[in-house]
């Protein structure tokens, strides 16, 4: 960190300045845009579309392949989304594609390194190839198909232990807090060497930090999210110090032990650990919760799974298609680019609406129907595509399948037992509370 950044971040109002330059400006602009009918601002601020964004995606589909709003453009076209995600003409623009580069750097100068979240370099979400390629290569071994398959016994062991606790609990249980959240945290905790007595802390801090994916947080929401990031960064700093003294055989331990040209700095290690922790449970907790909610709402699909348990893997992909945990990703055009016969000018921010693409009728027959037997369910874009395709996709699929198999085998009469509550996030979509009873 240079002296200018250090002095700015030491200023008492530095955190507020970082919020104002980032979220505050966007929040004010989007509120005005929503009142004027901007489709992307309405998706952010219209209460009805916050609760159910899919009509908003269909309105975008009816408006064209690439829809231009007041500040950003966007697409729900499956082919266009795939093309943008795969094209080197588009990139992540240091984690904030909607902001000019000079303003991004000014905003970041008001943060300390300990306040850097998942959208700040050197997080993999905030860098393009070749730097992204370097980081990704270092973690892919543990997410390769053979490595993931070897984790199934451990995932089932964790699932069954959590279900034993649920069985002993009197009355209704919140499935998210008791099961869907704890299972992936246990698995990613193994990969990062997180002691069992700290995993609930990291889950809580990670939930807060994940809110930084949303572009227009209030000042209070931003403070809470940054506090979660700060605590995670602090914990990872201590964990790295310990692993340098006591080498351990897990993913984070191996990253710490790298030397030569592969060696990572402390800042890179903390950014990678924070991202792996968040990505390791945020996608999966929402996947499990969304699947259970959909099966409650579609009993005929639950009956199909009961009759043919071999469909569980496909049910996971259909959940990812129908109700993806990550709704959208932004990209910036680095040069003029042709997309589906139209020109996207350099500097344009395009919101790649993964959830809308997953219901494209040009790809999926009757796309608004949840169908666990759908033969092409796996054609979804829930894990993105191209260079930033989620390296943990195989692990998320495994955890989702095993979690659902074990849950409904143990509690075949599982039923909803109260009001479901959505998470307040926009980019991440899932249940914050899902009461159930057996």
Structure confidence by residue, pLDDT tens digits, 5-51 = 445 666 779 999 999 999 999 999 999 999 999 999 999 999 999 99
Percentage above 90 pLDDT, the chain: 86
Look-up of token digits 């232990």: 161
Cis peptide bond prior to 122, omega within 30° of 0 = yes
Look-up of token digits 């008492």: 12
DSSP symbol at 21? I
* pLDDT at residue 430 is higher than 50: yes
**For residues 205-227, average pLDDT:** 93
- C-alpha span between 180 and 288 (Å, rounded): 6
pTM value? 0.95
The pLDDT of residue 10 is 64
Token pair recorded at residue 330:
């932004």
* Domain chopping of the chain, boundaries: 3-437
Residues 269 and 240: beta-carbon distance below 8 Å: yes
Whole-number average pLDDT of the chain? 94
Token pair recorded at residue 104:
């991004």
Cis peptide bond prior to 433, omega within 30° of 0 = no
The pLDDT of residue 5 is 47
Cis peptide bond prior to 389, omega within 30° of 0 = no
Percentage above 70 pLDDT, the chain: 98
CATH superfamily of 3-437: Cytochrome P450 (1.10.630.10)
Per-residue confidence band for 438, with pLDDT thresholds at 50, 70 and 90: confident
E strands in 210-341: 329-333, 337-339
- C-alpha span between 387 and 394 (Å, rounded): 16
């Amino acid at each position: 960190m240079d002296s200018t950044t250090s002095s700015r971040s030491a200023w008492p109002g530095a955190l507020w300045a970082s919020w104002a330059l980032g979220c505050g400006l966007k929040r004010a602009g989007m509120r005005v845009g929503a009142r004027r009918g901007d489709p992307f601002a309405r998706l952010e601020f219209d209460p009805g579309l916050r609760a159910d964004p899919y009509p908003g995606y269909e309105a975008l589909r009816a408006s064209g392949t690439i829809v231009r709003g007041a500040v950003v453009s966007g697409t729900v076209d499956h082919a266009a989304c795939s093309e943008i995600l795969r094209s080197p003409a588009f990139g992540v623009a240091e984690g904030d594609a909607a902001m000019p580069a000079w303003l991004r750097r000014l905003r970041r100068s008001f943060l300390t390194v300990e306040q850097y979240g998942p959208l700040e370099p050197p997080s993999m979400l905030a860098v393009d190839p070749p730097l992204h390629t370097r980081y990704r290569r270092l973690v892919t071994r543990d997410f390769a198909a053979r490595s993931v398959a070897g984790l199934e016994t451990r995932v089932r062991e964790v699932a069954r232990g959590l279900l034993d606790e649920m069985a002993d609990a009197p009355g209704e249980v919140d499935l998210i807090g008791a099961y869907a959240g704890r299972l992936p945290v246990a698995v990613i905790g193994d990969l990062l060497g997180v002691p069992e007595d700290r995993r609930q802390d990291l889950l809580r801090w990670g939930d807060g930090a994940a809110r930084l994916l949303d572009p227009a947080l209030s000042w209070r929401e931003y403070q809470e999210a940054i506090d979660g990031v700060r605590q995670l960064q602090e914990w990872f700093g201590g964990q790295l110090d310990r692993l340098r003294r006591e080498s351990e055989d897990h993913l984070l331990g191996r990253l710490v032990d790298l030397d030569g040209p592969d060696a990572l700095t402390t800042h890179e290690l903390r950014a990678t650990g924070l991202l792996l922790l968040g990505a390791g449970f945020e996608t999966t907790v929402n996947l499990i919760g969304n699947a259970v909610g959909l099966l409650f709402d579609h009993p005929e699909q639950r009956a199909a799974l009961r009759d043919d348990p071999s469909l569980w893997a496909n049910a996971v992909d259909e959940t990812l298609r129908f109700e993806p945990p990550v709704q959208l990703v932004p990209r910036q055009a680095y040069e003029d680019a042709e997309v589906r016969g139209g020109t996207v000018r350099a500097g344009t921010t395009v919101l790649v609406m993964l959830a809308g693409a997953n219901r494209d009728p040009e790809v999926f027959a009757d796309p608004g129907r949840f169908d666990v037997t759908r033969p092409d369910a796996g054609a979804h874009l829930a894990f993105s595509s191209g260079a930033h395709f989620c390296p943990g996709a195989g692990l998320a699929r495994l955890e989702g399948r095993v979690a659902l198999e074990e849950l409904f085998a143990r509690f075949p009469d599982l039923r909803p037992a109260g009001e479901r509550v959505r998470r307040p996030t926009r980019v991440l979509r899932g249940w914050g509370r899902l009461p159930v009873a057996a």
